Chains A and B, each alone.
Chain A
Amino acid sequence: MSSEPLYEEVFTIEGKDYLQGGAVSIVIKKILEKFDYSPETVRRTAIIVYEAEMNITLYADRGQIKLMAFKEEIQLLIEDEGQGIMDIDMALQDGFSTATAEMREMGFGAGMGLPNIRRNSNQFSISSTVGTGTTLSITVQPKVEEHS
């Protein structure tokens, strides 16, 4: 990125703070709506943040979401401290979940969290160390309009 970010902020999430689940995604959505991104770009980002935020809330001890909004794209760096992911390939599969019964009662555990994040990203990378934590690095780029 050659340009300076239009906006930059780090959001902290505490693990097991279920009542706040999804709150950061709404804050980030409001922030992004002030810029010139399309509603679709904002929605994709909000969905990514919601899922990432819930992953931290459900599975980690704590985590941070760093938002860097550039003119051409939105970057998210999501890092958590906690149990990490044992098998990333499995975790990326639709329907695979390690959710507990308590989490499922709240409507979580569809096993679509990481797949939903990846589907909405233009660039997506994930790394994890069991017993330490997980990092996601994501870029959301606006759809290029086709000109006839």
Chain B
Amino acid sequence: MLEAKVLSRPDNLEIEIESVLACDLMSDLLAHPKPGGLLITGLSNIQMVRALVAADMNAAVVVRGKLPEDRVIQMADETGIILLDTRMSLFEACGQLYAHGLRGVPPEEHFSHVVRTPL
């Protein structure tokens, strides 16, 4: 549905995606981690793959036809992240996944575990 090419870990393609997050800023990704989730992003660098690992996410679709460098694909292979690549825009890719029933997580469900401590 995304006309995407699989760049890494084709052996992992049977996993279930629980929710989707779309963003282009690293700390927005880390502010809303989606364990088991999919990231849709225009970021294609190695730090993005590492951020996905920290956030326990499974996969990322890189949009706008940006092809990640070989070392980024290699990092994804090594860390078990499924990396996909599509020519679609961020908006179109989100729209396609939403139309096929995938959803994000409502903001109030984030950080329900966190104890806020005053400085």
Contact = CB atoms under 8 A, between A and B. Distances in A.
A121 B47 CA distance: 22
B50 A124 contact: no
A107 B45 contact: yes
B79 interface: yes
A135 B62 CA distance: 35
Contacts of B119: 92, 124-126
A115 B31 contact: yes
Given A22-B47, A110-B26, A124-B117, A29 B53 contact: yes
Interface stretch (A3-11, A44-52, A64-72, A73-81): A44-52
8 contacts: A22-B50, A22-B53, A26-B54, A39-B35, A47-B33, A107-B26, A112-B30, A119-B111
Interface residues of A, number: 40
Shortest Cβ-Cβ A-B pairs, 6 listed: A22-B50, A112-B27, A110-B27, A46-B54, A110-B25, A21-B47
Contact of B30 (A18, A51, A92, A125): A51
B115 interface: yes
Nearest to A22: B50
B92 interface: no
B25 to A, nearest CB: 4
B1 interface: no
Interface of A: 18-19, 21-23, 25-26, 29, 39-40, 43-44, 46-47, 49-51, 54, 92, 106-113, 115-116, 118-126, 141, 143
Contacts of B35: 39, 43
A107 B25 contact: yes
Interface in B51-65: 51, 53-56
Given A47-B33, A54-B47, A108 B27 contact: yes
Interface in B72-117: 79, 111, 113-117
Contact of B113 (A21, A40, A113): A40
B44 to A, nearest CB: 9
A39 B46 contact: no
Contacts of B26: 54, 106-108, 110
